[in-house]
Amino acid sequence: MDIKQNTINAEEMTKRLNTTSSNIRKWGIELEKHGYKFDQ
């Protein structure tokens, strides 16, 4: 099965979510603790 993945950088994510890059990093760390994997 092919899975299409959309990617977005942290700067664009901060704009879309109206938050800070440090919050994006914190959320990413928490998601990884629960098994989500991200390309860095």
pLDDT at 2: 63
Calpha distance 21→13 (Å, rounded): 8
For position 17, what pLDDT does the model report?
Answer: 93
Buried b (16+ CB within 10 A) or exposed e, 7-20: eeeeeeeeeeeeee
Residue-wise pLDDT for 4-35, tens only, equals: 677 788 888 899 999 999 999 899 899 999 99
**Residue 38 banded pLDDT, cuts 50, 70, 90:** confident
Amino acid at the residue 30: E
Instruction: Give pLDDT, residue 20.
Output: 94
- Kindly state the tokens that stand for 18: 């109206």
Q: What is the model's pLDDT at position 7?
A: 79
Ramachandran angles phi, psi of 8, nearest 5°: -150, 140
